[in-house]
Amino acid sequence: MSEKTETRLFVTADLTVDGSVGLETSQTHYLKNVLRLAPGAHVALFNGRDGEWTARIDNIGKSATSLSLIEQRRPQCDEPDIWLVFAPIKRARIDFTAQKATELGASVLWPVITRHTQVERVNTDRLLANATEAAEQTARLSVPEIREPVRFDALLEAWPQDRPLIVCDETGAGTPVATVFSNPPFKGGTPCGLLIGPEGGFADHELDRLRQSSFVTPVSLGPRLLRSDTAALAALACWQAVAGDWTLKRPEGLDL
């Protein structure tokens, strides 16, 4: 069995028996100058396809690192298929949302521009960096897909008709979220999406469009008016607790 390692890195390279992996400059800087690791040290690598592997640092230079793969620590497993579609918010809070949504198992992070959205420009590279760091720190075997921002109408036009879309309705008119997630078709973690509106709420014409869409189910998150980032994480937590993978046990031998 491989030695315990606390350092996990996401890579894009294939992970195979007797394989080797090269790291990019930023990861080399992190290993060498932040963690001060040297050749011979072990780290864990994952790529979202091949599980998690123990790797040994062979060489570490100023801008590149090479590692040898030793053994697979965990096989790739099925993960929740839950998309989080959210109206962008201010920088620190959108960073927080990306981090915590990753921790909560979101498979896709998709910004949507609505009538009342106050933030029009989204740095998707920054979203990906935050999601990657969160995945590395929380033992996920994948990083959420980060999609480019889309306008509200374009989102509904492109939405897969066979994927239910749960809309967190700030008007309170929806069915309580726990009731919806505890019953078919959502019970058991069916693939779906969560839509979170902007700070100012959905415009009337947007609410009308949602109500007219056959794949939309409005839900209520309770009596309090939640901030958009709070609503996003609350909805994800509810889905995981009732319909998602929170019903599963942590894999044996998982080092954290």
**Distance between CA atoms of residues 17 and 122, nearest Å:** 39
The answer as to whether 254 is a domain residue is: no
**Distance between CA atoms of residues 104 and 233, nearest Å:** 8
- State which residues form the domain around 65: 8-74
Domain end, chosen from 74, 98, 117, is at 74
Residue 4: predicted pLDDT: 54
Residues 106 and 33 in one domain: no
Look up the CATH number of the domain holding residue 48: 2.40.240.20
Residue 251: predicted pLDDT: 65
Divide the 256 residues of the chain into consecutive groups of 10 and give the mean pLDDT of each group: 70 95 93 94 96 96 92 92 93 91 97 90 94 95 97 96 91 86 83 92 92 93 87 93 79 57
Residue 252: predicted pLDDT: 63
Residues 125 and 207 in one domain: yes
Look up the CATH number of the domain holding residue 131: 3.40.1280.10
Question: Residue 226's closest CA among 180, 170, 165, 167?
Answer: 170
Residues 107 and 230 in one domain: yes
The answer as to whether 3 is a domain residue is: no
CB 66 within 8 A of CB 58: yes
Domain end, chosen from 48, 74, 100, is at 74
Residue 2: predicted pLDDT: 44
Domain end, chosen from 50, 74, 98, is at 74
CA dihedral 203, 204, 205, 209 (to 10 degrees): 100
Q: How many domains does the chain have?
A: 2
Residue 235: predicted pLDDT: 93
> How deeply is 254 buried, as exposed, middle or buried, from its count of CB atoms within 10 A (0-12, 13-18, 19+)?
exposed
The answer as to whether 100 is a domain residue is: yes
Residues 170 and 242 in one domain: yes
In sequence order, the β-bridge partners of residue 242 are none
Residue 5: predicted pLDDT: 59
Residue 1: predicted pLDDT: 39
Contacts 24+ apart (CB under 8 A), 36-40: 37/7
CB environment 194-228: b (16+ within 10 A), e (fewer) = bbbbbbebbeeebbeebeeeeebbbbbbeeeebeb
Residues 94 and 33 in one domain: no
Cα first-last separation, the chain: 16
104: helix, strand or coil? coil
